[in-house]
Amino acid sequence: MEAGTPTGPQHYDYLIVGSGAGGAAVAHGLASAGARVLLLEKGPRLPRDGSTLDVRAVLIEERFKNRETWLDGEDRPVIPGDFFNLGGKTKWYGAALLRFSPEEFEADPGNGYLGWPIRYEDLAPYYDEAERLLGVRRFAPEPAMARLAARLVKPGGPWEARAMPLGLAPDAQAHRNEAARFDGFASVRGIKADAEVRLLDPLRAMQNLRIETGAAVAALLPRDDDPRAVIGVALADGRRFHAVRVVLAAGALHTPRLLEEYLARTGLAAQLPGARFVGRYYKHHLNTILLAFGLRRNDDLLFKTLLFRHRGFPHSSVQGLGGRLAEEIIATRLPRFLPDTARRALSARACGFFLTTEDSSHPDNRVAAHAAPAAAPLLDYRRDRMPRAWAEHAGFVRAFHRALAARGLPGVYLHMPPGATAHACGSCVAGRDPQRSVVDGYGRVHGLENLYIADGSVLPRSSRANPALTIYAWALRLAHHLRTRGATREHETAATHPVRS
Ligand SMILES: Cc1cc2nc3c(=O)[nH]c(=O)nc-3n(C[C@H](O)[C@H](O)[C@H](O)COP(=O)(O)OP(=O)(O)OC[C@H]3O[C@@H](n4cnc5c(N)ncnc54)[C@H](O)[C@@H]3O)c2cc1C
C-alpha cells in the first residue's frame, strides 16, 4: 500500500484501475476534492536506485518492459511495447505535451478519421489545468536544433517549426545525466512531469486516497440483480474491492479486454449495441525513427525543443528524439563489427527524429481478449487497411529524409512495427451514438450505470502528434464531471444491493 488507508469501511466512492496518464489524472481530480478513492495499479512503484536511467537495464535488457506475448491477426507472436508500473507509460515518455488542434476533434471521412463527441472548446479548460499541474514549458532551441531549423524553415517554404511544449523542470538542463535520458527512460530526481511525480506524489498524505501497487484487476463485478451496474473489481490474487463507481484506466490495450470479458460474462454483449465496438478502431500512429548524420557534432542535451510540420502533409509531424537517445540507440543497436572509434564518431554527430502520422480509424484494427483458439490476447493492426494515411506517412518520411540529405544530413530510417504501441489509443472510442461507440462524451460506458473510462482508449482521433496531454485533459474533465454530479442513484443502488461473491 502506498498512501494513507481510508478510515471508513472497504467501500470506496471510486475504484480506478491503472495509474498512467488517465488513471492518475482522474485520481488527482477526485481525491483532491475529498472523494474516497482506491487506485489499483498492476505494476510496482519503479525503483529510485538509478536503474531506470541505466542504458543496459533499459535498452539492452529491457528490464522494465512488458514481456507478455500477444498474437497478431495472422497468429504471429507480437510483444507490445508496454510498461506496467505506477505512473504507467508516462514514466518512460518523452514528455512532449501537445494539445490537439480544433480540427482534430472533427470527423474526416476522406481520411478515415472518426470525430469526437466533444469539441476542442470543451476540453480547453482541462488542457489549461493539465498544463498547469504538469508544469508544461518551452525551451529555447539548442545549437544543433537551431541550425537545423535555420536550414529547413524558409519564408514561403513548406516546412514550419514551433516550440515544443515539454513537461520538464525549468532547471532540467542542470541535471545532465537525467536530461540526457528523459525520453525512453524514467527520471529518478523527478525532473520529468510524469503522472506519478506531478499528480500522485502531491496527494500522498491524503487519507482519502489509497494507492495499491501489485494489484492486477482481473474482472469487474456485477450487481446481483442487474449487471448494468458494476459494484467493484476482483484482483488476480483473489482480493475484491467495492465502490460506487468504477473508472477503467488500464490503457488502450487492457481496458477493452476487461470490458469485453465483463460484457460477455454478464450477457450484456448481446444487449448493448456498442458492445461490438469494444476493442475496435485501435490506433497507435504511424511512426518512423530516422537517424541522420552530419559533419558537425550534435551536443544538444534536450534536442526535442522544436516540432516540425510540412504544409503538404497535414496529419504528420516530426520531433527530435529527446535527450541523447539517438546516441544510445547507435551505441546499443549498431552492428558490433563497427569499431568503437567509428561508433563514437557517428553517435556524436547523430540527430535522431521521430516522425508521426495520424492513422485512420479502422474497425478491423483491434485488440481482443483472446485470439481464438489460443489463449493469448489479439493485437490485429495492419497499415494496409489505411492506404491513405500510410501514403501520407511514407511521403512525409521521404520528404524529411530528402530535405535533411539536401542540407548535409544524410540518414537512415526505420518504420516502427505493429508491436510499437507507445501511443496506443482508440479501442473504446467515445461517441454520441450508443449504437456506434463505447463511451459517451464524459467517458461513461453506454448502457452501464456507473462504469467510466479515463485512458487513451476513448480517443476517436489521435492527432498528428503525441496523445498524453489530451488523455490527462480528458481524465481531468471526467473527474470534474463526476465531482459535480455528486451522490446520485448509483450511491443508493451500490449500497443497498448485496455484493455477489
Ligand atoms: C517510450 C515512450 C515515449 C512516449 N513519449 C510520449 C511523449 O513524448 N508525449 C506523449 O504525449 N506521449 C508519449 N508516450 C505515450 C504516453 O505515455 C501514453 O499515451 C500515455 O501514458 C497513455 O496513458 P493511459 O492512461 O492511456 O495508459 P498508460 O500510461 O499505459 O497507463 C495504464 C496503466 O494501467 C496499468 N494496468 C494495465 N492493466 C491493468 C490491470 N489489469 N489492473 C491494474 N492496472 C493495470 C498499467 O500498468 C499502467 O500503469 C510515450 C510512450 C512511451 C512508451
Which residues does the chain have with pLDDT short of 50?
1-8, 487, 489-501
Q: Write down the number of H helices and E strands in the chain.
A: 12, 17
Cis before 170 (ω within 30)? no
> pTM, whole model, 2 decimals?
0.95
Task: Tell me which residue has its CA closest to atom 53 in ligand 1.
Answer: 422
Distance 185 CA to ligand 1 centre (A): 13
Q: Are 464 and 358 in contact (CB under 8 A)?
A: yes
Pocket test for ligand 1, best of 40, 82, 89 (most atoms within 8 A of CB): 89
The confidence score (pLDDT) of residue 331 equals 79
The confidence score (pLDDT) of residue 301 equals 95
The pair phi, psi for residue 434, each rounded to 5°, is -60, -15
Atom of ligand 1 nearest to the CA of 43: 47
The confidence score (pLDDT) of residue 453 equals 98
The confidence score (pLDDT) of residue 236 equals 97
Gap between the Cα atoms of 250 and 427, Å rounded: 12
Q: Check pocket membership of 470 for ligand 1, CB cut-off 6 A.
A: no
User: Mind giving me the DSSP string for 414-431?
Assistant: EEPPTT--TT-B-SS-B-
Q: Check pocket membership of 377 for ligand 1, CB cut-off 6 A.
A: no
Gap between the Cα atoms of 63 and 66, Å rounded: 9
Atom of ligand 1 nearest to the CA of 254: 38
The confidence score (pLDDT) of residue 326 equals 85
Three cell numbers written together for 301: 542535451
The confidence score (pLDDT) of residue 387 equals 97
The confidence score (pLDDT) of residue 10 equals 66
Q: Check pocket membership of 216 for ligand 1, CB cut-off 6 A.
A: yes
The confidence score (pLDDT) of residue 334 equals 72
**Looking at residue 108, what DSSP letter applies?**
B
The confidence score (pLDDT) of residue 435 equals 95
Task: Tell me which residue has its CA closest to atom 27 in ligand 1.
Answer: 251
Pocket test for ligand 1, best of 16, 41, 90 (most atoms within 8 A of CB): 90
